[in-house]
Every structure is written in structure tokens, then in C-alpha cells.
Amino acid sequence: MELSSLTLRSAQEMLRSKQISSVELTQAMLDRIRKIDPQIQAYVTVTEDVALEQARRADERLATSENVTPLTGIPFGVKDCLSTKGVRTTCSSKILENYVPQYNATVIDKLADSGAVMLGKHNMDEFGMGSSCENSAYFPTRNPWDLTRVPGGSSGGSAAAAAAGLGLFSIGEDTGGSVRMPAGFCNVTGLKPTYGRVSRYGLIALASSFDSIGPMAREVYDVAAVTEAIAGLDKRDSTSSTLPVPQYTQSLGKSVKGMKLGIPKEYFVAGMEAGVESAIHKAIQQFEALGMEIHEVSLPHTKYGLPVYYLILFAEASANLARFDGTRFGLSVRDGAEDVIDVYLRTRAAGFGDEVKRRIMLGAYTLSAGYYDAYYLKAQKVRTLLRQDFEQAFEQVDALIAPTCPTTAFKIGEKTADPLEMYLSDIYVTATNPAGIPSLAVPCGFSQGMPVGMQLMGKHFNEETLFQIGHAYQQVTDWHKQLPPLG
Amino acid sequence: MTKYETVIGLEIHAELQTASKMFCGCSADYASAPAANTNICPVCTALPGAMPVINARAVEQAVLVGMALNCTINPHNTFARKNYFYPDLPKGYQISQYELPIASEGWMDVPADLGEGTQRIRIRRAHLEEDTAKTFHRGDHALIDYNRAGVPLLEIVTEPDFRTVEAALAYATNVRAILRYLGVNSGDMEKGVLRFEANVSVRPIGSDELRTRTEIKNLNSFRALTRASAYEVERQIKLYESGGEVVQETLGWDEARGVTVSQRSKEHAHDYRYFPEPDLPPLQLAESFIESFRAHLPELPEAKTQRFLRDYGLKLQDAALLASERSLADYFEAVTAQTKDSAKVVCNWLTGEFMRQINDRALSVDSIPIPAAHLAQLIDLAFDKTVSGNTAKSVLVEMFQSGRAPKDIVEAQGLGQISNEGVLKEMVIKLIADNPKEVASYLGGKETLLQWFMGQVARATKGKADPQAVKQLLLDEFEKLRK
Ligand SMILES: [Zn+2]
């Protein structure tokens, strides 16, 4: 068994045909993590006991063929911002270094019910704040394609793990590109679903009105299968949608002939790395060859996407992070504190990293009396315009195509000194979150040896179309089959 | 010297009596919790990742209260985060309603400041929010009990329309009565289910400016509300009179010393940084849903008072007293329907001896131990003159003690009134025959002796003689002797 190239779908077939047991597969994955991960550091916590126990139970299900789902027995890892009962959940922050949740996120419950096997928790930028995984309070994760480069962020550990075959899929989380941007950097397929498609209950919130949990894996089929398992209404998340979940894997294989693909002209301007631009253009030609109609469309408010995204994120994050106060869970710095408020101050000063503090302060500022109208409220108004841009574009086309990042993976340490430049690496992926639309990242080539990703954006709750187009592309290309040069 | 006018606005924080908390499934009945931190879950203790879900019952109760306070119920209303750090606030923000509350622009009439008529108090808004945890201090430790965290609260805010402390009290009393009528709040202020905040300022009479106000927070009783407001009015007047200025600040009320104390000045006022709660979509209430509640709205104290005046001819004060509590009003009507005697007599009983028994026994009108049929039976026994008024009162005491029916008590203890004329006449004739001196004195003009004769009969019958009958018999016999 060649673990490094194994896909979820092929593992499914091996499990069902009893070529391998889930315990064997899980043990092999754990061994591979032990061997490979020290170079990459995708995992913050490896849950060997949980994994082997879940694998044993999956094997029982597989043996009786009862209650077997497409994910039964499949090992995966999850970004460390999803609450896992009894398993340390850190958000890669010092403030949660020893935090063990009492309950599971809904997505974790759903995966456990489906029989999937949790290998561990993935490193990330602290609380999702970052685009390189360098803002982890523990260690930076390295890009499996070049260990001197970043895997992207904030779901960097999840992307690197999926790319390096340290799990057959990853559960990431995308607040403003955090699944798609690292998927592009690491050559994996990843979905940011429609806001409300997947329950956020138990997800440690960054920006509550943007956060979208989504899978990352080797190919579209795998991502579609996982999305099917984790999507759906959750009574505990009032923002989750009541719309029924389609059987995504069933719609794969349909022809894309005659479908319309839009190229947002505002996305193809100066600043894009030449290799990235040419890879995207080749992908567009490929879609044309598949029979799709290509149209140029306009998203006129694109230039406001990044500021709108950051303003709203800062505001929501500043409130979401208020509960980390050292009284009920996590780090609590009590020595020398004069009173309870002093415990708050000391805990937060010691527990949060610089980027987190920066964003909390910016958020509190933009919500303050006298500034609210100029910043937060205005951003919400422009957010409506961004959403309308997309709605108007989708009157003309079925999907939009754009790069996931203007460049390929940059060097570790290259952008850490300048937060603003780091923010700019998210320029293509941030606007989708304020708009709430789904977007699928698909590998589409290489630039100077590093992977290039494209994203396909679609209408609200129309993940099916994106899967259909992405799958059609992967039937005629093999970029997604390229593997990083690991031992 | 300048004459000053009082300007008060009131905020009432009422806990709603729902089974579960505002945003989670935990029991809202924190008073019955077996121990601290037992009615808690990830949501109300704000564990990372936990999310709120709106309690539909709390929404329904808020709609009912809003309607009872003549408010507009807003079909589109939203929740917001009110951000501040305090140990009793686990999320670091309170989920409240800010820009679009569930109810707005209502009113209530209260007795006018002077003389007759009523004054209309404008109610600005009523909005849903969540209660905080409770903090305790033990030595140099602060302890927190989250059982109360997340209990639904309805905050009802008036415009600064009160011109007297009495008007504010009348309003607060009536709001409490309405909340109890609707069954959404016990009104049990000792348990903290109802809390007041008074915004107080004063201005020269004739002026319509709104001067700097102070906010007195956490007033937990009507007494605290009136004393604190009155104190603050006086304090501000003295301040202006001595050339000083009122400072905008938040005050607490020191019950023991009877003074308001500064808690926070304007410079240190919180900037709550309100913004829409992204975890809760706007609450959309269909018009048909809202209207379905109008039918559920019970007759409220004011309307009931008017009906009691009209239908039963009661005095205003009595009608208002009976109508102030739904259970008492219902009881009054049940007894009235079952007795031969008039509603006024029933009212006299209820507002007199009956209420004394309830109060003396520290009972609640919510759980009157005497069935209405029993009280009706007792009133009938008096009406039929089977027992005298005084005997009836002692039978009532016995009813409270034993729970037995009045007829059984009267029979068992032989308390029946002697109204048999034959028996009484015999006694009267014997009395006159045995006391010739007093008879002569009476006939000689000392008519006050009639009371003495009546007293003798009462003593001989142990109070069971019908006094009216005895009096008439005596007068008849004396008349015969005069002839
Ligand atoms: Zn709870």
C-alpha cells in the first residue's frame, strides 16, 4: 500500500473489499505521521488511542456491513479550532495550551457517527489569524513541497497533512481563504462551503459571520464525500441552513459542456506572479476544451473586499475572544493579580500572541463610539455591495474562476515583519466570505516548482456545480496527483 | 427660592419564568438548583465554540408583555452584543437587543400627580436579554455561580415621564401586577426576579429642559426604589441650591445608610461597543403569530378594576385591590358567584378578615387554602343568621387552621346562632323578671341600659343569640311594661 498517494476513494474500496482493515490503515497512518511529521509539523496533537479505538469500531461496522458510510474507517485530521471532547483543543494559542473541551463540535460528532477515524489535531495560525501558519504559538508548519516555505494559512497544518498523506482528508476552516489559500500552496483540493451549510457549533469562532468549516483532500470526489457527511442543519447553530444536503458524489461525472465560466476581470490585474497567471490561463483553456463557455465578468467592488473583510473580522473577533479570561478554562495567570480584572489582563497579555492582540485592539477600536459608523457600519454596507456583485455575476455565469493567491508559497519568515503584506496574500480569497458563497480550490499547475491553486466560486448553496466542474477538470488533468518530494 | 420638578425615567429588569434559559437548554429555575454551578452547559458558561439558540417561550412571553404595555410588537427584531468585561459575564458580552427591540412605543396610565385623572407614561421599549452569573466574595476569593447566567430577562424602559416618585411607584407596582397576571414573572422581589433602575434629574418648574441625570442601579424593592429616588431628588435640589452642578454618574443605593453612592462617573462610563450578534439571525415574527397572542392576553388589572366598579358597584380602592392580583380577583368572582349575599359583602370579607388571615399566616394569594365554595358557604351562614358576624370570623380562623367546611365547624362546635324567637323570648321575659331595679331605671329614662340587657342575653347564650332579634324582643317587652 502506497500511503502517500492514497485517496479517500481508493481507501474506501480497499476497506470494503477487506484488502485492509481500518486498524491496519490507521496504524500505518500513525506510523507515517511519526516518521514524516517531524519535518512538517502539521499536527499539534496526535490522538493515537482515540484513532485506534475508532478504527476498531469501524472494523466492526465494516465486518457486518451495517451502518457503513463512505467515511467508515477512514483516518483524518482536523484543524485545532474544532472542539474535541476529551482531546486538547488549542487553536495553536498559549491561552488554550491545556484546554480540554467537555463537548464535541457538531462536525466532530458527525464524523464520529459516520465512522471516520480521528488521527489528531492540526497546527494553524493562532485563532486562525494569519496566512502562513507562522502565527502558531507552538511552531510553524512547513510546506511539504519545500520545507523552507510556508504551507499557507490559517489551515496550514490541515493542508500540509493532506498533501503529505498524513491522513486521507483534513477538516479545515475558512474565514477568509483559510482553506483555499493553503490548499493552493500545498496542491490539495479544498472547499469553503456556503456560509450556513456546515454547522459551526463547537468551532472556536474567529469571525462568526464568515467562518466556514470545509474539507481538504487529494481530489474533488474525496472533498464531496466529506462535505456530504458534515453538512446540514444543526439546531445548535441558528445560522445553519434548513436546505437539504444534496448527494454531492452522485452528481460527479456530469458533463460541463455548455456551462458558463466567468473570469472576474478585477482579479486579473498587476501583482500576480507570472507562473500563477499562466497556470490559471491554461486552466481556463482546459475548461474551454471541456466545452465550457468563457465570459469576462465584472465584480466592481472587488477592491473593497479586503478592507471590508478585515474590518468585520476585527470587530467580530474582538468580541469572540473576550471569553478567554482565565476564569473558566485555559490559561489563568493569577499570581500577583490584584483582582479578577487584573487576572483577565495578565492572562490575556501572557496568553495571546501579537497578531491576536493587534486584531482585538483594532476590532475594539472600530466598534467604539464615534468610529462605529465610519468603520463597522460602512463595512457592512459595502459587504452588501460585494454580495450583489456576485449575485449579478451569477446571473450570467454558473461559476467564477480566480487564483487562490497572487503568488506560490513564500519563504518562512519572508512576510512576518509586515502584517499588511501578509494580509495582501489573501486578496483573492477574502471577498467570498463576506458574500457567503461557496468556493472550491483545485490544484492547477506549478510555478517554479511550487503548486498553483485556482478557486471556483459559485452561487449560494450550489456546491454541486463546483464539484461537477472541479471533478471534470481532474478527469482530464493530473496536477492533483502530483505528490510532494517526501521520503 | 426656585421650585423644582422631579424628572424620572424607569428601567425594569424582569426575569422571565421560562423552563429553560434564554439561549440554551439549561433550567432557568436557578433558585431551585441543588448547588452552585449545576444548571450550566457550554453555552451559558461560554466555553469556546458554544453558540446561542433563542428560547421561543421567552419570545412569546416578551410579546405578551409588550402587548399588555400597549407596545408595538416588531415583526423584525435583532440581537446585539453588548461588550464589557465583568466576572459575572462569561462571554465578555451580553446578548441583548439594541437597535431593533422586540417591543417599542407603548404606554401606561398612572394616577395623575395632583388630584383627579390619569397621566400617560410613555414606554420607550421592551427588549430581551440574558441575566448574569452571581458572584460571591469569600475572604480574598471571588466565587462565581453560573446557575443564573443566561436566564431570560425582559428590560422595560420608560421615557423620563414621571414627575413624582409616587407616579414611578404606581407604574412599577402596576408593571409587577401585569407580569404576574401574564404568569411570566413571580414578582418575588426578595429573590431578585424584578430589579429597577431609576434615572433621576430635577429642573425648575416650568422648564422643559432635560438636565443632567444620575442612574441609580440595582434597586431590588419598591421601598428601595422610592427611598433612593426621593433621596436623589433632594440631593440634586440641594446641590443646585448651593450653586453646585449634578454630575452624570451611576449610583448605587446604600439601604442601611439611606444614601446613594457613586459607582462610576461619566468619564469612566462603559462604551459597550454594541454590534449585531452574528450568531443569531434576525428574529422574524409573522403577523399571524403576533396576532395569535392578542387572544391569549388575559383581562389586565386596569380593565378588571373598571369592570368590578361597573358590575359589582365596588369602591375604586377595593376594586383596584382585588384586581391587583389575578388569583385574588378570580377568587372574589368565584365566591361572589356561589353566595346568596352581595359582591360588596364578599369584598368586605376578602379585604378584611380574610386578608388579615392570609397576611398573618404569611400565605400567598396565589395559593389560597380555602376553597371558594367554603368561603361562600360561610358568608351564607352569616346571611341566613345561622351564625353571628363575630362567630363567622372565628369560624374563618378555624377554616384556615383545619381546612374544614364552615358548616361542619358550626355543627361540631354548636356555634349555630339562636334565632328561634320562642327560646329568646323566654330568656328575655326571665331577664326582665329577675332584674326589676334595672327595668325600672330603664323605664325611668336610662335607655343606655338596653346594651346591658343585650349583654346579659349574649353572655347567657355565649354569643349565639342574634343581637338584632334580642334587641327587638327587649324593646317589645319594655313597650308592654310601659302600657
Ligand atoms: Zn446552559
Average pLDDT in chain B: 92
Please tell me whether the peptide bond between A154 and the residue prior to it is cis, using omega within 30 degrees of 0. Answer: yes
CB atoms within 10 A of CB B6: 24
Are B412 and B457 contacting, i.e. CB atoms less than 8 angstroms apart? no
For an interface test with A, give the residue of B23, B47, B82 to mutate (most A CBs within 10 A).
B47
Shortest Cα–Cα distance, A77 to chain B (Å):
18
The Å distance, Cα B24 to ligand 1 centre, comes to: 5
Query: DSSP alpha helices (H): ranges in B324-371?
Result: 326-338, 343-349, 355-360
CA A90 – CA A44 distance, rounded (Å):
8
The Å distance, Cα B150 to ligand 1 centre, comes to: 7
Classify A259 as helix, strand or coil: coil
CB atoms within 10 A of CB B238: 10
Smallest CA–CA distance from A367 into chain B, residue? B273
pLDDT of residue B447: 86
What is the arithmetic mean of pLDDT over A16-34? 97
- Cα–Cα distances (Å) from B386 to A383, B414, B417, B456, in that order, read 83, 11, 5, 20
Which cell goes with A109? 460528532
Contact A239 B273 (CB under 8 A): no
The Å distance, Cα B45 to ligand 1 centre, comes to: 7
Task: Please tell me which of the candidates A82, A201, A322 has its beta carbon nearest to residue B93.
Answer: A322
DSSP state of A457: E
pLDDT of residue B1: 64
DSSP E strands: which ranges in B97-151?
103-111, 118-130, 134-138, 141-145
pLDDT of residue A351: 98
For an interface test with A, give the residue of B21, B273, B284 to mutate (most A CBs within 10 A).
B273
Smallest CA–CA distance from A344 into chain B, residue? B85
**A114 among known catalytic residues:** no
The Å distance, Cα B475 to ligand 1 centre, comes to: 78
User: pLDDT category, B365, cuts 50, 70, 90?
Assistant: confident
Chain B residues within 8 A of A324 when measuring between CB atoms: 48
Among B10, B121, B110, B106, CA closest to B65: B106
CA B397 – CA B394 distance, rounded (Å):
5
pLDDT of residue B477: 87
pLDDT of residue B444: 87
Residue B146 has pLDDT above 70, yes or no: yes
Contact A340 B47 (CB under 8 A): no
Residue A49 has pLDDT above 90, yes or no: yes
pLDDT of residue A422: 79
Shortest Cα–Cα distance, A285 to chain B (Å):
41
The whole-angstrom distance between residue A73's C-alpha and the CA centroid of its chain comes to: 22
Residue A315 has pLDDT above 90, yes or no: yes
Q: Does the model's ipTM exceed the 0.90 cut?
A: yes
**A154 among known catalytic residues:** yes
**A131 among known catalytic residues:** no
pLDDT of residue A402: 96
pLDDT tens column, A318-357? 999 999 999 999 999 999 998 888 999 999 999 999 999 9
Are B33 and B147 contacting, i.e. CB atoms less than 8 angstroms apart? yes
Angle at A22 between CA A19 and CA A24, to 5 degrees: 75
Shortest Cα–Cα distance, A322 to chain B (Å):
5
Query: DSSP alpha helices (H): ranges in A368-425?
Result: 378-396, 419-424
CA A9 – CA B72 distance, rounded (Å):
57
DSSP strand pairing (B72-73 vs B194-204):
unpaired
For an interface test with B, give the residue of A97, A102, A201 to mutate (most B CBs within 10 A).
A201
Contact A341 B48 (CB under 8 A): no
CA A62 – CA A24 distance, rounded (Å):
13
Percentage above 90 pLDDT, chain A: 93
pLDDT tens column, B402-413? 999 998 888 877
Chain A residues within 8 A of B45 when measuring between CB atoms: 328
Residue A487 has pLDDT above 70, yes or no: no
DSSP state of B247: P
The answer, for B331 touching chain A at a CB cutoff of 8 Å, is no
pLDDT of residue B428: 87
Among B49, B31, B18, B215, CA closest to B41: B49
pLDDT of residue B417: 65
Angle between helices B389-402 and B406-413 (to 10 degrees): 110
Amino acid (1-letter code) at residue B245: E
Give the DSSP H/E element, type plus range, for residue A143.
none
Smallest CA–CA distance from A99 into chain B, residue? B48
pLDDT of residue B465: 78
Residues 24-63 of B with CB under 8 A from A: 42, 45-54
CB atoms within 10 A of CB A314: 24
DSSP E strands: which ranges in A109-202?
117-122, 169-174, 189-192
Task: Please tell me which of the candidates B48, B83, B281 has its beta carbon nearest to residue A238.
Answer: B281
Chain A residues within 8 A of B279 when measuring between CB atoms: 205, 208, 238-239
The arrangement of secondary structure in B421-482, i.e. its CATH architecture, is Orthogonal Bundle (1.10)
pLDDT tens column, A133-164? 999 999 999 999 999 999 999 999 999 999 99
Average pLDDT in chain A: 96
User: pLDDT category, B420, cuts 50, 70, 90?
Assistant: low
Among A228, A196, A224, A229, CA closest to A210: A196
Domains and CATH numbers, chain A: 3-259 (3.90.1300.10)
Contact B49 A91 (CB under 8 A): no
pLDDT tens column, B8-38? 999 999 999 999 999 999 999 999 999 999 9
Chain B residues within 8 A of A204 when measuring between CB atoms: 48-49
Q: In terms of residues, how long is chain A? A: 487
Which cell goes with A461? 448553496
Contact A325 B53 (CB under 8 A): no
Are B251 and B217 contacting, i.e. CB atoms less than 8 angstroms apart? yes
What is the arithmetic mean of pLDDT over B221-230? 97
Residue B186 has pLDDT above 70, yes or no: yes
pLDDT of residue A330: 96
Residue B461 has pLDDT above 90, yes or no: no
Phi, psi of A364 (to 5 degrees): -60, -35
- Could you tell me the residue ranges of all domains in chain B? 4-292, 299-413, 421-482
Angle at B312 between CA B311 and CA B316, to 5 degrees: 100
For an interface test with A, give the residue of B24, B51, B146 to mutate (most A CBs within 10 A).
B51
User: pLDDT category, B463, cuts 50, 70, 90?
Assistant: confident
The Å distance, Cα A47 to ligand 1 centre, comes to: 29
What is the arithmetic mean of pLDDT over A28-40? 97
CB atoms within 10 A of CB A420: 7
pLDDT tens column, B75-96? 999 999 999 999 999 999 999 9
Are A141 and A161 contacting, i.e. CB atoms less than 8 angstroms apart? no
pLDDT of residue B479: 87
Chain B residues within 8 A of A209 when measuring between CB atoms: 278
DSSP strand pairing (B103-111 vs B72-73):
antiparallel
Which cell goes with B44? 451559558
pLDDT of residue A113: 98
Residue A394 has pLDDT above 90, yes or no: yes
Classify A320 as helix, strand or coil: helix
